[in-house]
Amino acid sequence: MTSRQTIFEAIGGFEPIDEIIDGMYKRVAVHPDLILIFPEDLEESARKQRLFLIQFLGGPQLYNEERGHPMLRRRHLPFEITPTRKDAWLACMKASLAESSLDESHQQLIYERLKAPAAHMVNTPE
Rounded to the nearest integer, the mean pLDDT of the chain is 95
Domain 7-121: give its CATH code: 1.10.490.10
What confidence tier does 5 reach under pLDDT thresholds 50, 70, 90? very high
Task: Please report, for the chain, the start and end positions of each structural domain, with discontinuous segments joined by +.
Answer: 7-121
Does this model's pTM top 0.85? yes
The mean pLDDT of 32-41, rounded to a whole number, is 95
Given a contact cutoff of 8 angstroms between Cβ atoms, the answer to whether 62 and 17 are in contact is no
